[in-house]
Amino acid sequence: MALKMVKGSIDRIFDKNLQDLVRGVRSHREDEAKYISSCIDEIKQELKQDNIAVKANAVCKLTYLQMLGYDISWAAFNIVEVMSSSKFTYKRIGYLAASQCFHDGTDVIMLTTNQIRKDLSSPNQYDTGVALTGLSCFVTPDLARDLANDIMTLMSHTKPYIRKKAVLIMYKVFLKYPESLRPAFPRLKEKLDDPDPGVQSAAVNVICELARRNPRNYLSLAPLFFKLMTSSTNNWVLIKIIKLFGALTPLEPRLGKKLIEPLTNLIHSTSAMSLLYECVNTVIAVLISLSSGMPNHSASIQVLYTHTHRLFLKYLGLLAMSKILKTHPKSVQSHKDLVLQCLDDKDESIRLRALDLLYGMVSKKNLMEIVKKLMVHVDKAEGTTYRDELLTKIIDICSQSNYQYITNFEWYISILVELTRLEGTRHGHLIASQMLDVAVRVKAIRGFAVVQMATLLDNTTLLAGSGQHKSICEVLYAAAWICGEFSEHLEDPVHTLEAMLRPKVATLPGHIQAIYIQNAAKLFAAVLNGQQGTPDCQTMQESSQLLIDRLPLFVQSADLEVQERASCILQLVKFIQKLQHKEVEVGEEVTALFAGELNPVAPKAQKKVPVPDGLDLDAWINEPPSESESEDEKPVAVFAEEELRHARPHHTEVDEKELARRREARKQEQANNPFYIKASPTSQKDSTGVEHIPVVQIDLSVPLKVPGMSTSDKYLKLEEERRQRERKERGKKEKKKKKKREKRSGMGRRHDSGPESEEDIAPAHMVDIVTEEMPENALSSDDDEKDPNDPYRALDVDLDKPLADSEKLPVRAHRPTNILKSPADDGEVQEVPKEPKKKSKKEKRDKEEERKVRLLWLRCPNGEIQCTCTKSSKHKKKKQKKDKEKEEKKRKKQHGHSGDREGEESVQNGTLEEEPLPVCDIQGNLQNGSQVVVSIIFENKSTSFLKSMEFNVLDSLNSKLQRPEGSGPHDGLTVPFQLPPGVSNEARFIFSVQSIVMPQRLKGTLTFIVKADDSSTHEKLDFKLHFTCSSYLITTPCYSDTFAKLLESADLKGTSVRLQEVSLPFHHLLAKICFHHHFSVVERIDSCASLYSRSIQGHHVCLLVKYAHQTVTIDAKCDESSLLGNVLEEIKKTFSQS
Amino acid sequence: MIKAILIFNNHGKPRLIRFYQYFAEDMQQQIIRETFHLVSKRDDNVCNFLEGGSLIGGSDYKLIYRHYATLYFVFCVDSSESELGILDLIQVFVETLDKCFENVCELDLIFHMDKVHYILQEVVMGGMVLETNMNEIVAQVELQNRMEKSEFVFISRM
């Protein structure tokens, strides 16, 4: 022992430690990757050593490499080893590495449960601390369930250091295992009164996190927090509590009244800016909740604003404003200029915040003005990201709430057109979808839109020519479609038709060209229809000639869609031309091709279609496809993507009633709100005052100014004029009314025609916003917004209800003692845990059945494997006939190298089959202890030459493909030969196997190059290797006396199985068992025989086979019952197949 | 909750990364690159808050950072954390490093990444703030270091 230690420390001297590694990496700047890969090789060597110090050093270095971006998950097991060291130094290294790289998907985590439990109960507080810290980073639902009780206990540890960590980690436990929240909560609450400030702070932390998600459940804690707030001096705790109160006050207005005073005290006394800010924030929340009931708090608001200004941090000020905005839009809207100023700030964070605010600040009144300012910023903005952000915000602002604030859609279309002039924007899509949306849904605007779009199309060269950023040409997609669909509004359809078929169009992306062609056809139909009946048929002939001249260009297109449409339409036009020469009227027929109107459909419409009676959506229409099939489905994604492109933008649709309801609610709120500035003559000045602001025509050198295009600016002026006119008229009317009224009653009420409130602004022209179609008798449930995956929903539980027995946290107990304690007295309790087991068995059976189906599907009736020929001859598929297998996820990995055992073994014989290419046959050999040799025969059945074959298998926890030193865990092995057509060859691969009691299925791929005469292609073949339990058995001769002794010994556990309707002769049956499952016959008497086999790890398997009346009974014994069970299962399979 | 803590230098070389939510290694590197890109182009006299890291987080998350000489300390947090509070926390963390390393500089972080992690573990645990009292943090770190030393003496005597 001592010698080993000495040897270890000597080794250490020669090992590189972390510092050396860092130094090395720094001195190999040029070939860092190469140096690091050599370091990783060294680390691998170090990890193989027995010395824990060396291992820990290696793991420490790996942690560093992880930071540089290297995957270290392959060393997960070594990390667990280091974690379980008894030395604090190494343990800490192990836990650090684990916390950096373990996650829910790391399979070795399940091995750590007991180690962590041991560390948690360690007498050394730092062992416990380190374990808690590590666990907080990689806790999984399983760990949370198993350890919740241990951590609960630690919450009352004597050392505050442990207590605070235990309290804090409980939040993570709650998230992963929500059932623990109720049982643990009382103790958590206790910790709010802990004498140690650290523990107290941790408890506040956890409860605040919890309350943030579901504040209602924590209202009852308010008095406790109130006490803490007035007593605590820890700023961090205070901030947390104050934030929590901010979330609670909206739910309980009475709380707000109480808060104002202590909060104002804090504001005046604290020196910490962070605390001050949070106080101000919460005061805002309080005031908002109070303002509806309490008369006058303007004084406090004043305090608030002065403080907001004192907080020089504009960013936080804006953030606070956005909170006020949600409930009191008016009070923020008065600061519009301030916010607009912030758009000029050089700090992007501030600009983006301001943009966000603007989104909420717009109204019908100021929309145009705000957007105009934004447009100015768009032109000035440097850097495409910010400009793109501006662009999306403009569109967001305008389109919000179903275009609620847009009064003039002509203006909006012109804004969109102006936006297309932006160079290098990424949001062509967005603009296009807006154009489509508006044109489709606002009927009145179509005429204007079409004219604008036609102009856009006419300028194709400008758009397409503008550089490498192709995104903007998406706009043309919308333009072409609009012109085609609503062609009746076109002024000069022939001209537009010509514009759509210019040769330059062929440089556009395929999907846009396709739209061009389709819509050219629509236009053509419109031209024909328009000219119908006129004596002059020259235009018609000209336009058909135009199509015939131009379309051949697109027929040659490389894009399938374009080509197909073009050739289709070309032929159609040729036919029409023929008819024209015969002077047949075709206009109507051609128009009929495109008859029917497209209606907008609500994005949720599909979801709302009610399920008809008697239709079960969950029932299978066909049997579920096998796994291998599902992999072939990938190409579908191409179409899905395509669909997305055409998908219309999502809107938060609000129907008219809802709108009216909201408006009503807002009015109500404003009426009750003392801070709401009601319409007054002074503010009228403001709104009309816009005209007095000298409007400087900003003529920045806009390079792409398109002549003849409307600019949005003029609409701003027009709109103002229009509104003023309307106001005057209304004023007149009202005056008249007033006069009348005054005449009638002496005391005429004062009634000022103040600035128009929102509702008074009439839209410029009657705009019919078509609502989106919904299916008939749609379900009106609107709760589909909730995200079922929200992890916090599970934590929404009532905490005040007393605990039920079933909710107690699972307590670790040894199962045998459990049984001893309660042998008979309460059978019911024992019944309970059994139930899930049964269920799981049933589930398993179901799964098995499913699997059977799949297997049958794979197999042809005559036992051979079917080949499905798909598409081209190069395509291939490999399927493997396999016996059934059991899932073995939960099995724990057996660690340690089981001693070298000699033996031989044949891994079962699945006939691999695939299409024209290789047929494989697996014959396995076992050389030693835990290794399995798999020989695979590759046969090339195709007519091409195969080379560069690479064989790779996805390792499982239990079985690993042995790869040469230095290659990564996912590298493939090169097959050392090439295959000419019709030739077969054999290759051997070694697998290391840990546990043999369960069958195992490994997925793998074979990649290779197919060399045809003129070309070579890279191909891939997926296959599965099935290691059955029988394949771990070795045919071993055994004498009858040894056999008898074996049977007598008590170690063997027995089981039996019965096979019915076996029509084979008995000796065939025996031969079959011996061949497929590697048994040897010990003795045979009439229709009774004893068989023996041994597993590669030395398990004895004895069978007694009896045969009578077509029924076979097999009594079996083995020292490993699960192994035996699986072998018998496999024997059963063999006979059920034949 | 804190989602991630990143320390990198003026050239974007990571000096310490600590994610409290799982990301694969290549994703982590991408996040570091993106964050560096966002943070490094900002002047020193603009505010210390930043939204819009597209890879990490989403609308609820913010980057809060401080820039010390050659190093950026970036915390990615959600809206339950107070912005200014986190700024103070970064200060506490840096001062703690300064005490533990005696005049900390980038080289200390480069060569003792593990130690920096151990110190950080006493400040933030699993994404939640564990301790804000500097003296307490330093005391715990030192006790643990002493334990490590005593173990090492024990081993070398064997």
Q: Are the CB atoms for B33 and B12 separated by under 8 Å?
A: yes
Mutate to test the interface with B, among A349, A385, A386 (most CBs of B within 10 A): A349
**Residue scoring higher pLDDT (A846 or A344):** A344
Identity of the residue in A96, A161, A272 whose CB atom sits nearest the CB atom of B117: A96
Mutate to test the interface with B, among A59, A73, A168 (most CBs of B within 10 A): A168
Indicate whether A808 pLDDT > 80: no
Indicate whether A440 pLDDT > 50: yes
pLDDT band for A736, please (50, 70, 90 cuts): low
Residue in chain A closest to B62 (alpha carbons) equals A349
Interface contact flag, A168 B130, Cβ < 8 Å: yes
From residue B57, alpha-carbon distances to A103, B8, B13, B83 in Å are 18, 19, 22, 16
Residue in chain A closest to B27 (alpha carbons) equals A69
- B158 has a chain A CB within 8 A of its CB: yes
pLDDT band for A1021, please (50, 70, 90 cuts): confident
Number of residue pairs across A and B with CB atoms under 8 Å?
Answer: 156
pLDDT tens track for A235-270: 888 988 888 888 888 787 788 778 888 888 887 787
Chain A contacts of B18, Cβ < 8 Å?
Answer: 100
Dig out the tokens for A649 from the structure.
């933008």
pLDDT band for A273, please (50, 70, 90 cuts): confident
Identity of the residue in A164, A278, A319 whose CB atom sits nearest the CB atom of B130: A164
**Residue scoring higher pLDDT (A79 or A695):** A79
Q: What pLDDT, on a 0 to 100 scale, did the predictor assign at position B29?
A: 92
Query: CA A633, CA A622: separation in Å to the nearest integer?
Result: 16
Chain A contacts of B144, Cβ < 8 Å?
Answer: 88, 92, 126
Indicate whether A343 pLDDT > 80: no
Q: Which residues contact A650 (CB under 8 A, 6 or more apart)?
A: A603
- B85 has a chain A CB within 8 A of its CB: yes
Chain A contacts of B80, Cβ < 8 Å?
Answer: 208-209, 212, 243
Q: What number is the average pLDDT over the span B117-134?
A: 92
Q: Is B99 exposed, middle or buried (0-12, 13-18, 19+ CB in 10 A)?
A: middle
Interface contact flag, B46 A346, Cβ < 8 Å: yes
DSSP string, A80-127: HHHHT-SSHHHHHHHHHHHHHH--TT-GGGGGSHHHHHHHHT-SSHHH
Indicate whether A751 pLDDT > 50: no
Interface contact flag, B148 A165, Cβ < 8 Å: no
Chain B contacts of A174, Cβ < 8 Å?
Answer: none
- B69 has a chain A CB within 8 A of its CB: no
Q: Are the CB atoms for A131 and A92 separated by under 8 Å?
A: no
pLDDT band for A687, please (50, 70, 90 cuts): very low
Please give, rounded to a whole number of angstroms, the shortest distance from the CA of B150 to a CA of chain A: 10
Chain A contacts of B82, Cβ < 8 Å?
Answer: 239-240, 243, 274, 277-278
Q: What pLDDT, on a 0 to 100 scale, did the predictor assign at position A912?
A: 35
Identity of the residue in A18, A202, A316 whose CB atom sits nearest the CB atom of B130: A202
Identity of the residue in A60, A104, A347 whose CB atom sits nearest the CB atom of B114: A60
Backbone φ, ψ for residue A689 (5° rounding): -60, -20
Indicate whether A311 pLDDT > 90: no
Q: What pLDDT, on a 0 to 100 scale, did the predictor assign at position A1006?
A: 81
- B37 has a chain A CB within 8 A of its CB: no
Largest CA distance in chain B: 57
Mutate to test the interface with B, among A214, A348, A353, A357 (most CBs of B within 10 A): A348
Exposure string for A862-899, b = 16+ CB within 10 A, e = fewer: eeebebeeeeeeeebbbbbbbbbbbebeebeeeeeebe
HEC per residue, B41-91: CCCCCCCCEECCCCCCCCCCCEEEEEEECCEEEEEEECCCCCHHHHHHHHH
Please give, rounded to a whole number of angstroms, the shortest distance from the CA of B122 to a CA of chain A: 9
Q: What pLDDT, on a 0 to 100 scale, did the predictor assign at position A262?
A: 84
CA atoms lying within 13 Å on the CB side of residue A117: 17
Query: CA A350, CA A347: separation in Å to the nearest integer?
Result: 5
Q: What pLDDT, on a 0 to 100 scale, did the predictor assign at position A844?
A: 47
Please give, rounded to a whole number of angstroms, the shortest distance from the CA of A263 to a CA of chain B: 16
Residue in chain B closest to A10 (alpha carbons) equals B156
Mean pLDDT of chain A, nearest integer: 72
Indicate whether B96 pLDDT > 70: yes
Please give, rounded to a whole number of angstroms, the shortest distance from the CA of A234 to a CA of chain B: 9
Q: What pLDDT, on a 0 to 100 scale, did the predictor assign at position A163?
A: 93
Indicate whether A749 pLDDT > 80: no
Residue in chain A closest to B141 (alpha carbons) equals A126
Q: Which residues contact A11 (CB under 8 A, 6 or more apart)?
A: A49, A51, A54
For A575-579, A738-742, A960-964, B132-136, which range has the lowest pLDDT when averaged over its residues? A738-742
Backbone φ, ψ for residue A184 (5° rounding): -85, -15
**Residue scoring higher pLDDT (B70 or A648):** B70
From residue A373, alpha-carbon distances to A83, A343, A352, A390 in Å are 61, 10, 15, 11
Query: CA A151, CA A146: separation in Å to the nearest integer?
Result: 10
- 3-state DSSP assignment of residue A1021: strand
Q: What number is the average pLDDT over the span A395-418?
A: 82
Closest Cα to residue B47, out of A273, A266, A340? A273
- 3-state DSSP assignment of residue A826: coil
Interface contact flag, A239 B111, Cβ < 8 Å: no
Chain A contacts of B117, Cβ < 8 Å?
Answer: 63, 96
Largest CA distance in chain A: 129
B 101-120 → A contacts, CB under 8 A: 110-111, 113-114, 117-118
pLDDT tens track for A646-679: 444 444 444 566 667 776 766 666 555 544 444 4
ipTM metric: 0.96
Chain B contacts of A64, Cβ < 8 Å?
Answer: 113-114
Residue in chain A closest to B53 (alpha carbons) equals A349
Interface contact flag, B133 A60, Cβ < 8 Å: no
pLDDT tens track for A2-61: 555 554 454 455 578 888 888 888 888 888 889 999 999 989 988 888 888 889 999 999
Indicate whether A920 pLDDT > 60: no
Chain A contacts of B43, Cβ < 8 Å?
Answer: 346-347
Q: What pLDDT, on a 0 to 100 scale, did the predictor assign at position A609?
A: 77
- 3-state DSSP assignment of residue A343: coil
Dig out the tokens for A885 from the structure.
């297998």
- 3-state DSSP assignment of residue A395: helix
Query: CA A782, CA A602: separation in Å to the nearest integer?
Result: 14
DSSP string, A1086-1121: TTEEEEEEEETT--EEEEEEEEETTEEEEEEEESSH
- B88 has a chain A CB within 8 A of its CB: yes
Residue in chain B closest to A133 (alpha carbons) equals B125
Closest Cα to residue B27, out of A971, A98, A66? A66
Query: CA B2, CA B120: separation in Å to the nearest integer?
Result: 13
Please give, rounded to a whole number of angstroms, the shortest distance from the CA of A171 to a CA of chain B: 9
pTM (two decimals): 0.54
Q: What number is the average pLDDT over the span A386-415?
A: 82
Q: Are the CB atoms for A284 and A304 separated by under 8 Å?
A: yes
Pairing type for strands B71-77 and A945-953 reads: unpaired
Q: Which residues contact A450 (CB under 8 A, 6 or more apart)?
A: A439, A482, A483, A486, A487, A489, A490
What whole-number percentage of chain A has pLDDT above 90?
Answer: 7
